[in-house]
Amino acid sequence: MSFTKNTIGFVGIGVMGKSMAGHLRAAGHEVHVYTRTRSKAEALIAEGAIWEARVAGLAEKCDRIITMVGYPTDVEEVYFGPAGLIENAKAGTLLIDMTTSRPDLAVRIAQVAAAKGLETLDAPVSGGDIGAKNATLTIMVGGEAAAFEKAKPLFEVLGKTIRHQGGAGAGQHTKMANQIAIAGSLAGSVEAVTYARKAGLDPRLVLESIASGSAGSWQLANMVPRMLDGNFEPGFYIKHFLKDLRIALDAARTMGLTLPLLELAERLYDRLQEKGFGEQGTQALYLLYERGLVPPSGH
């Protein structure tokens, strides 16, 4: 397959964005980067990425632009307004939002961008810091099929499981389903370890027994060892996971769904944030149980 070099803009050089932008540059693309804190991009700049001081400046130079920011409010700030991507990108530019954000915002971006002659995709990912570093992300994509085909070679640099889920917003809805599944699996893994400790068992030995059986999951295999090692560094921040759970709850309510497990997970992570753990990784849910901070049932 022939290689087509793109001029790619990457907005948001965080825990995952740094690795993702690096993979694209290493694959031979010209990568322009913008982030609010330039120091986060210094390693990429040293490797050959091009720094842009303004989102508008980046938009003017790139034919493919990927955004990987924190919150829906950040997405709105980057895409809209006189200094935003939509106003400053050249006609024909493909805008790809890989932030986990609101499905309705993805639809709005698609509609406003189309009126400016721009193509868009919402393409949130799963896999955390490990998936970003190893280029094994799962990428869930919403938008027009033609835009997806244009972006697919870039996605293949970043991930392994890449699926076009449907029209604008479909990628974000898929990611919400993903986050709901993670919330249940992670909470179950934490409670399993908490139970094993209280029963006087060696939790690492218990893990050896249950991880390869029907209880096995990615969360059990990857997050429980971090918990037991006392490693609560963020592969994915609690504050961002809480944001995702709230987006999922809002979307579910809009669709008339009642999801009690999701509601419970939101309460647990809200408690973590309240106790000052927002900058820790999602596996820090373990600390809520270890320190007796779990809110009473029904509250």
The span from the CA of 27 to the CA of 40, in Å, is: 21
Give the CA angle between residues 259, 265, 269 to the nearest 5°: 145
* Residue type (1 letter), 113: A
Residues in the chain: 299
For the question of residue 175 being annotated catalytic, the response is yes
The span from the CA of 263 to the CA of 56, in Å, is: 39
Catalytic residue of the set 18, 133, 175, 243: 175
Pairing mode, strands 137-143 and 119-122:
antiparallel
| Residue positions annotated with a catalytic role | 175
